[in-house]
Amino acid sequence: MGWHGSESEFEYTTIERLKALGYVHVHGSELLAARGGDEAEVVLKDHLRAFLTRRYGRTITRPDGLPEAAIELAIAKFARPEGVDTLRRNAALHAMLRGGVEIAVEEPAADGKPAGKRIAHVYAVDWETPENNEFLVVNQLPVHGPSGNDRRPDVIVYVNGLPLVLFELKNPYDDQPTVADAINQIGHYRHEIPQLFDHNALCIASDGVTTLHGMWTASEEWYAPWKSIDGTSVERGTTGSMKTLVEGLLPKDRLLAYIRDFIVFETVGAAGGKIIKKGGKYHQFFAVRIGARKILESVAAGSADKRLGVIWHTTGSGKSLSMCFLVGMLRREAVLNNPTFVIQVDRTDLDQQLHDQFVSARSLVGDVKHAKSVEDLRGLLQTQGGEVIFTTIEKFALREGEAEHPVLSTRDNVIVIADEAHRSQYGFTKGFARWLGAALPNARRLGFTGTPVSFSGADTVEVFGDLVHVYDIRQSQDDKATVPIFYEPRQIKLHLNKTDVDGALAEIVEDAEGGAIDELERKKGQWAALAKAAGAKDRIDQLAADLLAHFKDRTATLKGKAMVVCMTRENCVRLYDALKALPGCPEIKVVMTGDLGKDPEAWSKAGHLTTKQQREAIKKRMIDADDPLSMVIVCDMWLTGTDIPCLHTLYVDKPMKGHTMIQAISRVNRVFSDKPHGLIVDYIGIGDELRAATAKYSAGGEDHGKPAGGLDEDARPLFVASLAEVRSFLPEGVNYGDWRRLSPIALEDRYAAVYGHLTSDDDLRDHFLDAELRLTSAFLLVKHLDDCRASADEVIFYQRVRKQLLKTIRGRGPTRDIEKAVRDLVDDTVESEDVVDIFKAAGITRADISILDDNFLQTFKDRPLPDLRLKLLEKLLADEIHMRAKKNLAKAKTFRELLEATLQKYHNRLIDAAAVIRAMIEIKKDMEASDQRAGQLGLAEDELAFYDAVAINYENVYGVDFLKGLIHDVVQSIKRNLKVDWTEPHREDVKAAVRAAVRRVLTKQGVKAEDFDRLMPVLMAQAEALYAEWPIAA
């Protein structure tokens, strides 16, 4: 079997990379004894026993060590974690790895001491000294599943006998298998060999071009590249290489750090609730480790500067989870002496959401408290430490009569982590930030933000220190941690006059706090005038009609939900009423709080004034992509910290700027299934403010921070280019968008001609499929633009051609399944016609070679498109021959040669199409006759394959009966000597044993010595074709 350019080569280069890090390589076939002779056992108990004995066992020099019985009890706990399903067993194992297990040790009476019991704490991993652990890299380990499935994962990393990392690899030199196929195969393993995942920490999938890591529970969109080795330089312009992942994540100390500190099992609800396993990404890993190191160095040095720095990770890239990882890591550090963490935010909704995140991760972060009031916060901060306290910054307010805030704790192991620090946290001259500093004078401050901007004089760095780590929006999009955001202006004019200034203000601008009284009053008046103009009935009606039409058009081809932002609560209700009055309006909710003393009773009756519990219920419905609730209308709520992954459109009818704007537009950047992008639709005119915020947002992001491209600027050229690319793969001089004017027959002929053109060359066909996918995705962004909408019929035509190709070409799909998120334009909103069946158009009733008979030949002569029909039949017959080649090389070769010779004569115009069909019918008849021969000869199916391989040259020499007996003995001898991976280069010893066994049979049966050299290659080639996947092939 070939070595260079194979999947095996990729497997072994990966192993060599791990060996360079100090891992020891062992082939899976050599570990059966370490597994107790049981291929269903995935734990190497002998290796785990050796580690535990070496670290804890009783010896002469360690008389208080553990006896053998205690060691065996520990092995049993680690090898068989408890749980009703694989995920809960995996969670239990992870908890035991991090925290160890307690073992009751029976001590006999000795040296005058009575017998007794003691509790020993045992760890399966030496976390502090990585080199004390055993790291094995094992390839092709045979695993027998509970349902009888036998599988051989490509590579498994064992640490002290526990299978913690799984690699699934695909051939980098083959254009068919992709990283998506590797992830899909891991999904099958979960059901076929589930015991492997009781212990699995993480999985790695790669096709050589794209290398991703993820949790075994995750779907493809949650796998991510590892794009840095040192945490500072980033591997740009790639989808992640195996080199960077291995050298960046898998050095022994880093792998152990990742498993210990960057994996969390979130529990939603009470004990026994839903469990979600999550793992950190490379930007979280490096940022949290840098942040933790700065904290530990600051405490150890007794630094007077309490600023620890700022971690700037773009909104949506996992800041909340990074905080959990940081707290979990620091909790156990002895130098911090049982620290207290104060997680401080500036909004109640952020406070609740972040608190819920930490509560779900309590297995990692420990005890979580929530300050419900000023008094509650003061009480929580006067403890001896050890907890995580959540609070909004307003709870550092003064009591009535207080001139200064009292000191609540002088401990220097209080760590304040500020989420989304902005203006309310900068007031050190006056304001809540000053009182926080007074209450906790020795606390250290670390900032997390997605918007480290300094608007109106507020500066994150001045308060929290220098940037610790940056992960900007462009890198986030490149890594697919977030999706791109596009901007579409659809401004509806505001008609202001003198009477518009008489309104009362319900909400004020975000940065009014701290301003002068006259300036604040001026802003109130301006805002009220603008709000009233925005809420005028004529404008609201126009807004509702345009918004609903836009949303229906968008969701016709892109499944997802929307959020609308209005200036005031009154405008929210007016827009809701206007939308609900329109036909075809989907289910909508208004999300806002109320003032029962002032708000109209009708708002309560309509359900607009909601409690916290009701808003949580609405949020759950919005998060559920299949729930009919399609849109929410908000004023201030849900603009920060709310994650609704299926949200793909934000309609803005409220002036915003700075921090609030960046936070708001980031609501649509969450990854969800195959969501291609988020869209901001501007009805109020925020374009200038968006550009200003973007410029500040990307300062320090090295020009990689652009969050929202304009449709005219970015999306229209992308669509035009994609359309031109698709056209380039098709015959010129045809208007493919005019198909509606064609007669049914002419339309069938056009589809057939395009199909025949694209299938004439496999590369041409595949390039078209990939280009069509890009075109469909680009059209989603621009289909509402008049000049782009004119191309809708042309896009529909290309989508139908794609469906024909995928229907008739086995084993080939588009780069990704766009049906998950992107719907074709061919739906009820367009005069939908049946997609032309390319087989039917060519006069072929079934996509199967069973149609090849004499009746078919009679009907073939008078039908059009003979070249297309032959192309389709050739494909069907070639596929059948390919399938047969796996069982019988000789016969498949014969059939292939007959087909190729016949087609060559046709192309040379030596025979006509009808003659080709006659030859195909004869090949099909030969196939059917061949299927009956095994029974007639008294041979098993695999024995017939060997018989046919040698009978061509030796049936007349040795006779039928002699060959039958010979082949039977040869096949039995081959099977007795086969082992896993016997065809791979590293198993040449096994292949040599098979050859020797075959030679012994030939000698014993009296085969002439001069025939050995011709028989041996034929028999070995057939054995490799049939039994390459042994024992699965059996």
Distance between CA atoms of residues 1026 and 68, nearest Å: 47
- Do 819 and 896 fall into the same domain? no
> Given this model, what pLDDT does residue 516 score?
41
pLDDT at 907 over 90: no
CATH number, domain of 434, equals 3.40.50.300
pLDDT band at 42 (very low <50, low <70, confident <90, very high): very high
Q: Residue 457 — pLDDT band, cuts 50, 70, 90?
A: very low
Residues 47 and 178 in one domain: yes
Q: Token pair for residue 830?
A: 């367009």
Same domain, 792 and 931: no
User: pLDDT tens for residues 928-977?
Assistant: 666 666 677 777 777 888 888 888 788 778 888 888 888 888 888 888 88
Confidence at residue 514, expressed as pLDDT on a 0 to 100 scale: 38
Q: Look at residue 507 and tell me if it is in a domain.
A: no
Q: Give the pLDDT score at 820.
A: 39
Are residues 218 and 235 part of one domain? yes
pLDDT surpassing 80 at residue 656: no
Q: Among 937, 969, 997, identify where a domain stops.
A: 937
Host H or E run for residue 445: strand 444-449
Closest CA to 152 of 1026, 942, 984: 984
Amino acid at 157: V
Which letter does DSSP use for residue 839 in this model?
H
- Same-domain status, 772 and 867: no
**pLDDT > 70 in the chain, percent:** 72
Of 94-103, 785-794, 811-820, minimum mean pLDDT range: 811-820
Whether residues 262 and 285 share a domain: the answer is no
pLDDT attached to residue 703: 42
* Residue scoring higher pLDDT (692 or 359): 359
33 by Cβ neighbours in 10 Å (0-12 / 13-18 / 19+) ranks as exposed
pLDDT tier at 24, thresholds 50, 70, 90? very high
Residue 950: the pLDDT is 84
Kindly tell me if the per-residue pLDDT of 225 is higher than 50.
yes
pLDDT of 791 above 90:
no
1003-1009, long-range: CB < 8 A, 24+ apart:
1004/969, 1005/962, 1005/965, 1005/966, 1005/969, 1007/958, 1007/966
* Predicted local confidence at residue 545, as pLDDT: 93
Q: Residues 6 or more apart from 118 whose CB is under 8 A from it?
A: 104, 105, 107
- Give the confidence band of 327 by pLDDT, cuts at 50, 70, 90: very high
- If asked whether residues 722 and 701 sit together in one domain, one would say no
**Same domain for 921 and 900:** yes
pLDDT bin (cut points 50, 70, 90) of residue 409 is confident
State residue 914's pLDDT score.
60
Tokens of 661: 């704007």
pLDDT for 265 equals 93
Contact in structure between 902 and 916 (CB atoms under 8 Å): yes
554 is a domain residue: yes
Nearest residue to 195 via CA among 216, 168, 213: 216
Arithmetic mean of pLDDT, 465-491? 73
Same-domain pairing of 691 and 796? no
How would residue 149 be classed by pLDDT, with cut points 50, 70 and 90? confident
* pLDDT surpasses 90 at 423: no
Residue 711 pLDDT exceeds 70: no
β 647-653/561-566 pair status = parallel
pLDDT digits 0-9 by tens, 250-295: 999 999 999 999 999 998 765 567 899 999 999 999 989 988 998 8
Residue at 497 is within a domain: no
State how far the Cα of 271 lies from the Cα of 108, in Å rounded to an integer: 39
Q: Region 981-997: what's the mean pLDDT?
A: 76
pLDDT greater than 50 at residue 151: yes
Greater confidence, 712 or 35?
A: 35
Average pLDDT of the chain? Answer: 78
One domain for residues 145 and 259: yes
pLDDT for 1023 beyond 80 = yes
Report the pLDDT averaged over residues 224-242: 80
Q: Does residue 185 share a domain with residue 124? A: yes
What was the pLDDT predicted at 510? 38
Listing DSSP states for 264-325 in one string gives: EEEEESSTTSEEEEEE--HHHHHHHHHHHHHHHHHHHHT-S--EEEEEEE-TTS-HHHHHHH
**For residue 64, what pLDDT band results from cuts at 50, 70 and 90?**
confident
The answer to whether 104 touches 38, Cβ cutoff 8 Å, is no
146 occurs within a structural domain: yes
Residue 510 is assigned to a structural domain of this protein: no
The full 3-state SS of 483-497, as one line of letters, equals CCEEEEECCCCCCCC
Average pLDDT over residues 128-139: 96
Domain count, the chain: 6
Q: Which of 937, 970, 999 is the last residue of a domain?
A: 937
Q: Which burial class, exposed, middle or buried, applies to 461 when counting CB atoms under 10 A from its CB (0-12, 13-18, 19+)?
A: middle
Q: What is the pLDDT of residue 500?
A: 35
Among 137-141, 186-190, 612-616, 696-700, where is mean pLDDT lowest?
A: 696-700
Highest mean pLDDT pick, 83-92, 318-327, 487-496, 813-822 = 83-92
**Contact assessment for residue 899 and residue 871, using Cβ atoms and an 8 Å cutoff:** no
- pLDDT value at residue 655: 83
pLDDT tens for each residue of 565-598: 998 899 999 999 999 999 999 999 999 988 877 8
Residue 256's contacts (CB-CB under 8 Å, 6 or more residues apart) are: 125, 127, 130, 133, 159
Rounded Cα distance between 937 and 230, Å, is 66
Helix (H, G, I), strand (E, B) or coil at 712: helix
Lowest mean pLDDT among 27-31, 490-494, 542-546, 915-919: 915-919
Provide the pLDDT for residue 728: 92
Kindly tell me if the per-residue pLDDT of 816 is higher than 50. no
Please tell me the predicted confidence (pLDDT) of residue 498. Answer: 33
347 belongs to a structural domain: yes
What value does the mean pLDDT take over residues 414-428? 65
pTM, 2 dp: 0.64
CA distance 326 to 121: 25
Domain for residue 1034, yes or no?
A: no
Q: State pLDDT tens for residues 874-903.
A: 554 555 555 555 555 555 566 566 656 665
Domain identity same for 857 and 813: no
Contact 602, 632 (CB under 8 A): no
Could you tell me if 503 and 528 are in contact, meaning their C-beta atoms sit under 8 angstroms apart? yes
Last residue of a domain, one of 226, 247, 268: 268
Q: For the residues 415-436, what does the mean pLDDT come to?
A: 63
The band of 432, judged by pLDDT with boundaries at 50, 70 and 90, is: low
Of the segments 140-149, 670-679, 692-701, 947-956, which one has the largest average pLDDT value? 140-149
Identify whether 349 is part of a domain: yes
Contact between 225 and 188 (Cβ < 8 Å): no
Q: pLDDT band at 846, cuts 50/70/90?
A: very low
Please say if the pLDDT value at position 913 is more than 60: no
Minimum mean pLDDT range among 24-33, 285-294, 679-688, 778-787: 778-787
State yes or no: pLDDT of 217 exceeds 80: yes
Which residue range(s) make up the domain with 819?
716-841
pLDDT band at 144 (very low <50, low <70, confident <90, very high): very high
Task: List, for residues 853-865, the tens digit of each pLDDT value.
Answer: 445 444 445 555 5
pLDDT of residue 694: 52
Confidence of residue 912 (pLDDT cuts 50, 70, 90): low
Q: Indicate if the pLDDT at residue 850 is higher than 50.
A: no
Place of tokens 């490379």: 282
Lowest mean pLDDT among 682-696, 868-882, 973-987: 868-882
- The model's confidence at residue 436, banded by pLDDT at 50, 70 and 90, is confident
